[in-house]
Amino acid sequence: MVLVLAIGDLHIPHRAADLPPKFKSMLVPGKIQHIICTGNLCIKEVHDYLKSLCPDLHITRGEYDEDSRYPETKTLTIGQFKLGICHGHQVIPWGDLDSLAMLQRQLDVDILIAGHTHQFKAYKHEGGVVINPGSATGAYSSFTYDVNPSFVLMDIDGLRVVVYVYELIDGEVKVDKIDFKKTATTRS
Partner 1 sequence: MSPAAIERPMLESACSKSSDESRRSFANLRGVQWRTDLGILPPLSSSTIDDLRKVTADSRRRYACLRRHLLVDPHLPKDGSNSPNLAIDNPLSQNPDSTWGRFFRNAELEKTVDQDLSRLYPEHGNYFQSTGCQGMLRRILLLWCLRHPEYGYRQGMHELLAPLLYVLHVDVERLSEVRKEYEDHFTDKFDGLSFQENDLRYNFDFKKYLDSMEDEIGSHGNATKVRSLDELDPEIQTIVLLSDAYGAEGELGIVLSEKFMEHDAYCMFDALMNGAHGAVAMADFFSPSPVGGSHSGLPPVIEASAALYHLLSVVDSSLHSHLVELGVEPQYFALRWLRVLFGREFSLENLLLIWDEIFAADKNKLEKGAGDDTGSTFGIFSSPQGALISAFAVSMILYLRSSLLSTENATICLQRLLKFPENIDLRKLIGKAKSLQALALGPSISSSSPRCGGAYNHSKSMVVRSHTLPSDSISPKTPLNMVPDSYWEEKWRVLHKAAEQRNGSSGKQNPTPKKGWTEKVRLSLSRTASDPSPAKAGCGNDHKPSVRRRLLEDLSQELGLDEDTEKAGCDEVSGQKDHICKVVEVENQDGVNNDFTCVAEERCLSGIAGSEENSSLFSDPSSPLSGANNHENDSEKSSVASNSSIDETDDHPEANHEDTTLPVSHLPNNATLNSGDNNEATGKSLAVPKERKLLSGKFQWFWKFGRSNDGEETSEKGNGALDVTKSANDAGSQSSTVCSSVDGSCYSSTTGDLVDQNMMGSLRNLGHSMLEHIQVIESVFQQDRVQVGSSDNFSKNVLVGKGQVTAMTALKELRKISNLLSEM
CA–CA gap between residue 112 and residue 173 (Å, rounded): 25
Residue in 115, 104, 47 with CA at minimum distance from that of residue 75: 104
- Interacting positions 168-187 with partner 1 (CB under 8 A): 173-177
Q: Which residues contact 156 (CB under 8 A, 6 or more apart)?
A: 2, 3, 4, 78, 79, 80, 81
Q: Which is nearer to partner 1, 57 or 173 (CB)?
A: 173
Select from 28-36, 41-49, 72-80, 108-116 the region that touches partner 1 (CB under 8 A): 28-36
Residue 64 near residue 11 (C-beta atoms within 8 A): yes
- Interacting positions 141-160 with partner 1 (CB under 8 A): 153, 155, 157
Helices marked H in 54-159 — which ranges?
Answer: 97-107
Q: Which is nearer to partner 1, 3 or 122 (CB)?
A: 3
Instruction: Indicate whether 120 belongs to the interface with partner 1 (CB under 8 A).
Output: no
Instruction: Indicate whether 35 belongs to the interface with partner 1 (CB under 8 A).
Output: no
Select from 13-21, 27-35, 61-69, 103-111 the region that touches partner 1 (CB under 8 A): 27-35
DSSP letter for 145, please: S
Instruction: Indicate whether 14 belongs to the interface with partner 1 (CB under 8 A).
Output: no
Q: Which of 14, 24, 31, 124 binds partner 1 (CB under 8 A)?
A: 31
Cα 32 to Cα 44, 45, 121, 170, 186: the distances in Å are: 21, 19, 22, 26, 29
- The binding site for partner 1 (CB under 8 A) comprises 3, 25-28, 30-31, 153, 155, 157, 162, 164, 166, 173-177
